Structure 1
Amino acid sequence: MLDRSAYISMTGAKQSMLQLATTTNNLANAQTPGFREMFAAFRAAPIEGQGASSRAFVVDTTPGTDFTPGPIQTTSNPLDVAIQTRDGFFAVRRPDGSVAYTKNGRFNIDEKGVLRLGDNVVLGQEDAINIPDSIKQISISDDGYISSQMIGVTTFDEAANTPFDEIDQLRLVKINPSTLIRSADGLFDVPGMLQPKADETIRVKQGAVELSNVNPTTAMVQMIEQNRMFDLNMRFIQSADQNAKSANSLMSLSRG
């Protein structure tokens, strides 16, 4: 009969692999603008039953997200926007119509002139932000107002002092990060039916993006530790198996 410690070690090995997957995902997104590092931790799950009070399985859990601001990188791309407020977020609409929130401000304009973040529509004061085809340069003020620049401006620096016409304003919302739920697509959702309203106090910077807050060196060290934890649990399983075989052998000899 296999010792019960083998089953406990088995859960440890399994959960170590799940924790390793979280760290791997963090490392893979170390260069993704606006990405927020996921926490990974173990928690004990006591075993219920007679004679099992001293035993506990281990379960991997992701208790939350690290919302520490990432470094802001200047790109000089007028469609790149960085939020300079810790609890400020861009609002976007997914293809299914749901509204989500993100720190990623690496926008682009599609063939229809709609401002997008990948497959998601960037939201303005009312709905989608449309940039007319005739617009060659745009300016985004620190409070998120998008304005058209006079045709003929050739550089990003020249656009700063050129007369403009207002197009729309980015929907910038202030949210308590602890209330956010991360979705599979990397965007954040606000639980409940009420969605946060735009906040005029949030400030942005055009021509820059906020990078991921993942530290690649720390993530690599975590991966090494988690791999060692997996190996340690596998050794416990092997030891339990050997002990079970030795016990069975002794029992066979005693019967003889």
Structure 2
Amino acid sequence: MDRMIYLAMNGAKHVAWQQATTAHNLANVNTNGFKADQVSFRALPVVGDGSPTRTYVVDNTVGHDLSQGSLQRTGNANDFALGSPGFFAVQGPDGQEAYSRDGGYEVDAAGMMRTRSGLPLLGLGGPITVPEGFRAELGQDGTVTAVPLNGEDRAPQIVGQIKLVNPGARAVFKGEDGLFRLHAGGVAAQDENVRLVPEALEASNVNAVDSLVQMISHARQFDLNIKLMQTADQNARSATQVLAMTA
């Protein structure tokens, strides 16, 4: 009975974790560039005498869905998306290079290009700065051109190139801050095949309907495990009563 209660309790715990992951995905259905977390169950053998054929399951994070979200044309010159697999580089909160697909930028008081969450956009030589009196225009290869805002005879000038990378889905992991980094550490190389789409944003790739169905399924699995624990407890009480009567 104790083993049955343990297995059901373990199952309920891991279903609750999966429910939390699904809820997190659903909460980010409107977050630009968000990539859904993926989890699954895997079976493990029960260790102990008399239980060679019994198994239990644990929640196992298998990665993230890096499929392309839909591109939404905004007409805003400060928006951009990626129209191919890959990422653009940012300077993470720890000061190290990290990767994202949540496009769009702002220019701060010092002229530095930052994401709307405040992270500096990284070029091939570090953060990109736009001179005062100029506005930035983005090319499909990530090139940043500074264009004069007034009518003075000043020619546009290239001030940098956003670093675009594509290390592959298995080479990256997503941190708690939502940024991607290399499993092996270090930085990814520039990939000329990654294309930038100006004046557009990439929507989340979370399917709201699928997530809602998964939440219902997780809730039913959780209830089933709770009922198993209740049944095991009732059986244990009944056995105790029978033994007390025959003693």
Normalising by structure 2, we get a TM-score of 0.93
Distance 1:209 1:111 in 2: 24
| Equivalent in 187, 192, 197 of residue 200 of structure 1 | 192
Match of 1:165 among 144, 147, 157: 157
| Unpaired segments ≥5 residues, structure 1 | 154-162
Contact 2:171 2:184 (8 Å CA) reproduced: no
Shift of 1:67: 1.1
Q: Deviations over 1:32-67 (max 9, x none)?
A: 111111111111121112112122221001111111
Please provide the CA RMSD for this pair.
Answer: 1.7
- Structure 2 residue runs of 5 or longer lacking an equivalent are none
Q: Which amino acid aligns with 2:82?
A: I
Match of residue 174, structure 1, among 154, 163, 166: 166
Q: Given the alignment, which residue of 199, 209, 213 partners 2:201? A: 209
Say whether the 8 Å CA contact 2:133–2:150 is kept in structure 1: no
Match for residue 95 of structure 1? 93
Cα distance in 2 between the residues matched to 1:100 and 1:176: 14
Which of 142, 145, 170 is 1:144 aligned to?
A: 142
2-structure distance, mates of 1:109, 1:239: 62
Q: Distance in 2 between matches of 1:119 and 1:247?
A: 63
The residue type equivalent to 1:174 in the other structure is N
- The aligned residue for residue 232 of structure 1 is 224
CA contact (8 A) 1:95 1:119 kept: no
Instruction: Supply the AA of the counterpart residue of 2:222.
Output: F
Query: What amino acid maps onto 1:189 in structure 2?
Result: R
Paired AA for residue 240 in structure 1: A
Contact 1:33/1:106 (8 A) holds in 2 = no
- Tell me how far apart the structure 1 counterparts of residues 185 and 98 of structure 2 sit (CA, whole Å): 13
Q: Identity of aligned pairs, percent?
A: 37
The CA distance in 1 between the partners of 2:90 and 2:233, in whole Å, is: 53
Distance 1:191 1:125 in 2: 21
Count residues in correspondence. Answer: 244
Deviation at 1:121, TM superposition (A): 1.4
The answer to whether the 8 Å contact 1:10/1:233 transfers is yes
Deviation at 1:194, TM superposition (A): 4.1
Contact 1:180/1:189 (<8 A) preserved: yes
Cα contact 1:147–1:164 (8 A) shared by 2: yes
Q: 1:207 Cα shift?
A: 0.7
Q: Give me the whole-angstrom Cα distance separating, in 1, the residues matched to 2:75 and 2:62.
A: 37
Amino acid at match of 1:187: L
**Counterpart amino acid of residue 65 in structure 1:** H
TM-score, normalising length: structure 1: 0.90
1:52-63 correspondence runs (5 A) = 52-63=51-62
- Aligned match of 2:3: 4
1:237, 1:152 → 2: CA distance?
74
